[in-house]
Amino acid sequence: MAELTDVDISLAATRVSPGGWLRGSVVARGRGAVQGLELSVRWLTAGAGSPDERVVHLQALGDEAADGRPVPFEVRLPVTPTSYEGEYLQIRWLVRVRDRSDRVRDAPFEVLPGR
């Protein structure tokens, strides 16, 4: 997948509690540079096993984002899974913005208890 360099994702915090709120905004650089933006929050596994991926939230960002205005988002995260960096298994969370041409921009964050 090609990288979507015309979009910035900013997160209010890069560490979120399980079951907490993930807040942030998406802004496109340059008016009309991107079309049909879609935001997803997902986790994926990496490591020795077969990779797995689940989308926990999906929304279309509409024309507002394409106009260069910041579009805020707020997503209530599930309680599990929590982020994990093991020897053979890693569980990673990220916010992904995709455009109509299937270019993507990722913003990783952690889901960990204690905050």
Partner 1 sequence: MPRLRELGGLGVLTVLWNAGVVLGVLSELRANDVILGLVLIPCGLIGAALLSSLVRHLRLFALREPVLELDAHPLRQGSVHALSITLRGPLAGGSVTVELRGIESTISNTRNAPSFVRTFFAARLLEGEGVELARDERWTRRLEVAVPQNVPSSFAVPGSSLRYEVVVTTATLGLPEPEENAYPVLVLPLASGAGG
Q: How far apart are CA 53 and CA 56, in angstroms?
A: 10
Q: Are 91 and 53 in contact (CB under 8 A)?
A: no
**DSSP label at residue 84:** E
Residues in region 51-90 near partner 1 by CB under 8 A: 51-52, 54, 77, 79-84, 86-89
CB-nearer residue toward partner 1: 14 or 35: 14
- Single out the residue of 6, 8, 40, 45 in contact with partner 1 (rule: CB under 8 A): 45
Please report how close the Cβ of residue 6 comes to partner 1 at its closest, in angstroms: 27
What's the CA angle centered on 90, arms 86 and 92, to 5 degrees? 135
45, two tokens:
């596994």
Stretch of 2-10, 19-27, 31-39, 100-108 contacting partner 1, by CB under 8 A:
19-27
Question: In the stretch 88-107, what mask flags binding to partner 1 with x, by CB under 8 A?
Answer: xx-x----------------
| CA 58 vs CA 37, 84, 100: distances in Å | 11, 23, 15
Query: Which positions lie near partner 1, rule CB under 8 A?
Result: 12-13, 15-23, 45, 47-52, 54, 77, 79-84, 86-89, 91, 112-115
